[in-house]
Amino acid sequence: MRMKQTKQQAPKGLRTQLAVLLKLLMLVRPLAGYMALAVAAGTLSFLAAILIPVFGGFGILSVTQETPPFSLTTVCVCLVAFAAARAVLRYTEQRTNHYIAFTLLAEIRDKVFAALRRLCPAKLEGRRRGDLIALITADVELMEVFFAHTVSPVCIALLTELIMVIFLAHYHLLLGLAGLLAYLCVGVLIPLIIMKRGGDTGEQVRRHAADMASFMLESIRGLDETIRYQDGEARAHRLRAQSALLSRAQKKLSDLTGFDAALTDAVIIAADLGMLLLAAKLYLAGAVGFDAALISVLALMSSFGPVTALAALGSTLQNTAAAAERVLSLLSEKPETPEITWKKPLTFSGASCKDLSFSYRDGRPVLSHISMNFPQNTVIGITGQSGSGKSTLLKLLMRFWAPEIGMVQISGRDINRINTPDLRAMESYMTQETHLFMDTIANNIRIGKPGASNEEIEAACKKAALHDFILSLPAGYQTQVGELGDTLSGGERQRISLARAFLHDAPFMLLDEPTSNLDSLNEAVILKALREEAGDKTVVLVTHRLSTVRIADTVCALDNSLDG
């Protein structure tokens, strides 16, 4: 029974791979003109290469026959011309193919980054960063095999071998049929056998490679903790296990590639031997002359280049199809909250949530029938135990997630009927985790308002109790923060995040634990600034600190009765 299931699964895998490759083919349409040039140059290039040994045969005939088809001088001139043409045409084909590939890869990268922005944060929350990095880099790069080494080679093989079948058939129909059979075996049958035999091997390689990338990224980031708690041996054991899984999958793919090459060579040798025997039999039977027998054998032997490239695709496309499926799946994934751009604009005049309930994808309930008002020009404090849904409430106000039940309104309008750019302009959102880019302090703060002047940045930093600290640094605002801000303390990173929120200058400020890493003096400065901001803004403070919540006009407590 188990063997029967295996036989049924293989065609499904093959159909999936072919469907993925067909989707990739649709991406080539805008560059159809360049593809036609590559196919024409490639076909003529292979024909030139084939004609070199064929005209070598004509050279033999020119000195052995009384009335040869071509003189020896003509043969020599043609050989030089074919060699030069082969070089120029091959270069043209390769350059055009790679132009197509790199152009399409650049467009795909743009689409991938656009998809990531569209899906973020809800659909990317919980996804491993290493897996995404592998998808953006290695998986996209693997698609170059299809665009540069699959589309035009298939067309080139069809045209070249069709011409060769006609050429062989003009000597004798059986010679043409023998050539056709040989080309079909090498260029069609072998790739299908290899793809069916490979099953999901390519998918396994890409999955294990992504797992390895995620594990390595996690291990490097957590190196300090690994050393501190002497967990190195345990992580090394896991690394060896991950490496073994990847190595086994890669070995399976390498064995498949080796089998592909061996089978292709065996079929080509058998086809050459068969053509030799057929040509000899036809010559002895008087059906063809010696010139036809010699030229047909030389022509077939020298014409397997295009279909040999197709035969190799049976194994190389395993990885490519798996990588493409991962990329295309990301591009086709629907966001949790689609972007809205067609509604009438509005100005902020308060917000509210009514009978709001929400659970994450794992079914874990977080909020249940919450109703709350956020009047204009007030400070609202939100407290509660960990897991009571405070941060989730802010994400719903930002429309990162869509509520299951209930409604979020801003200025009396359902948040699902507000243009996404307008919503982002109306809200400043500070999370508990601050992400800093490897850039200067000034540029990291300027994210809150691209194009902001130095004066505006300094004003935001003063509100965030950050200005004096920055001036104490040797390079001031041009100080590099290092990768992920590792040259700064937790409190300094938090104040940079707060400065971004002040610089954004939105009428609705959502601040998640804005003072959790601060000392009392800096907290007092920031709270004073927030209290002053409330004169023309609505400020929502999520906090555990009693000292922070004291500045609030209204305090709402979320209970923790939902185990979340």
* Whole-number pLDDT of residue 455: 93
Q: Is residue 339 part of a domain?
A: no
Q: Which of the listed residues 332, 359, 376 is the one where a domain comes to its end?
A: 332
Beta-carbon-side half-sphere exposure of residue 390 (alpha carbons within 13 Å): 25
Q: Is the pLDDT of residue 518 over 80?
A: no
Alpha carbon 246 to chain centroid distance? 20
pLDDT bucket at 8, cuts 50 / 70 / 90 = very low
pLDDT bucket at 301, cuts 50 / 70 / 90 = very high
Give dist(CA 401, CA 394) in Å, integer.
Answer: 10
**Strand 538-542 and strand 508-512: pairing?**
parallel
Which CATH number does the domain housing residue 412 bear?
3.40.50.300
3-state secondary structure of 261: helix
Average of pLDDT values for 121-147? 78
pLDDT bucket at 126, cuts 50 / 70 / 90 = low
Q: Do the Cβ atoms of 177 and 344 come closer than 8 Å?
A: no
* Whole-number pLDDT of residue 9: 37
Average of pLDDT values for 337-355? 88
Question: 264 and 412 share a domain?
Answer: no
Give dist(CA 378, CA 545) in Å, integer.
Answer: 19
Give dist(CA 21, CA 29) in Å, integer.
Answer: 14
Share of the chain above pLDDT 90, in %: 29
Tokens of 348: 């902020």
Q: Within 10 A of 301 (CB to CB), how many other CB atoms are there?
A: 17
Q: Which residue has the tokens 């751009």?
A: 341
Q: What single string gives the DSSP state of each residue in 73-135?
A: HHHHHHHHHHHHHHHHHHHHHHHHHHHHHHHHHHHHHHHHHHHHHHHTTGGGTT--HHHHHHI
Give dist(CA 472, CA 375) in Å, integer.
Answer: 39
Phi/psi zone of residue 508: left (φ > 0), alpha (ψ -120 to 50 degrees), beta? Answer: beta
Q: Is residue 344 part of a domain?
A: no
Q: What single string gives the DSSP state of each residue in 48-82?
A: HHHHHHHHHHHHHHHHH-SS-SS-HHHHHHHHHHH
Residue-wise pLDDT tens digits, 365-392: 888 888 999 999 899 999 888 878 888 8
Q: Is residue 342 part of a domain?
A: no
Q: Which of the listed residues 332, 361, 380 is the one where a domain comes to its end?
A: 332
Residue type, 274: G
Q: Is residue 419 part of a domain?
A: yes
Residue-wise pLDDT tens digits, 481-509: 877 667 788 788 888 888 998 899 899 99
Question: 553 and 453 share a domain?
Answer: yes
* Whole-number pLDDT of residue 362: 67
Give dist(CA 423, CA 340) in Å, integer.
Answer: 10
3-state secondary structure of 345: coil
Q: Using omega within 30 degrees of 0 as the cis cutoff, is the peptide bond preceding 121 cis?
A: yes
Which CATH number does the domain housing residue 73 bear?
1.20.1560.10
Give dist(CA 396, CA 415) in Å, integer.
Answer: 9
Q: Do the Cβ atoms of 508 and 428 come closer than 8 Å?
A: yes
Q: Is residue 563 part of a domain?
A: no
Tokens of 7: 């036989």
**pTM for this model (two decimals):** 0.72
How many residues in the chain? 564
Helical segments of 199-289, H only: 201-221, 223-228, 232-284
Q: Is residue 521 part of a domain?
A: yes
Average of pLDDT values for 439-455? 90
Question: 87 and 160 share a domain?
Answer: yes
Give dist(CA 407, CA 402) in Å, integer.
Answer: 9
Q: Within 10 A of 395 (CB to CB), how many other CB atoms are there?
A: 20
**Top-confidence residue, 489 or 448:** 448
* Whole-number pLDDT of residue 10: 38
* Whole-number pLDDT of residue 172: 93
Q: Is the pLDDT of residue 7 over 50?
A: no
pLDDT bucket at 13, cuts 50 / 70 / 90 = low
User: DSSP letter at 535?
Assistant: T
Question: 425 and 470 share a domain?
Answer: yes
Residue-wise pLDDT tens digits, 166-217: 999 999 999 999 999 999 999 888 888 887 777 777 778 878 887 888 788 7
Tokens of 357: 């309930």
Tokens of 225: 């903790």
Question: 203 and 84 share a domain?
Answer: yes
Q: What angle do CA 198, 201, 203 make, to 5 degrees?
A: 130
Q: Which of the listed residues 299, 332, 365 is the one where a domain comes to its end?
A: 332
Residue-wise pLDDT tens digits, 251-276: 888 888 888 889 889 999 999 999 99
Q: Is the pLDDT of residue 561 over 80?
A: no
Comparing C-alpha atoms, which of 167, 172, 170 is closest to residue 288?
172
Question: 312 and 434 share a domain?
Answer: no
Residue-wise pLDDT tens digits, 302-345: 999 898 887 777 667 777 777 888 888 888 888 888 888 888 88
Average of pLDDT values for 536-557? 86
Q: Do the Cβ atoms of 465 and 495 come closer than 8 Å?
A: yes
Tokens of 143: 């698609």
Question: 312 and 356 share a domain?
Answer: no
pLDDT bucket at 118, cuts 50 / 70 / 90 = confident
* Whole-number pLDDT of residue 282: 93
Question: 270 and 127 share a domain?
Answer: yes
Number of domains in the chain: 2
Q: Is residue 10 part of a domain?
A: yes
Question: 383 and 292 share a domain?
Answer: no
Question: 310 and 401 share a domain?
Answer: no
Helical segments of 411-489, H only: 420-426, 441-446, 454-463, 467-471
Q: Which residue has the tokens 């659970």?
A: 359
Residue-wise pLDDT tens digits, 62-105: 888 877 888 889 999 999 999 999 999 999 999 999 999 889 88
Question: 264 and 384 share a domain?
Answer: no
* Whole-number pLDDT of residue 3: 35
* Whole-number pLDDT of residue 4: 37
Percentage helix, strand, coil, to 5, in the chain?
65, 10, 25
Question: 276 and 398 share a domain?
Answer: no
In angstroms, what CA-CA distances link 85 with 71, 90, 295? 21, 8, 21
Q: Is residue 362 part of a domain?
A: yes
Range of the structural domain that residue 505 is part of:
351-558
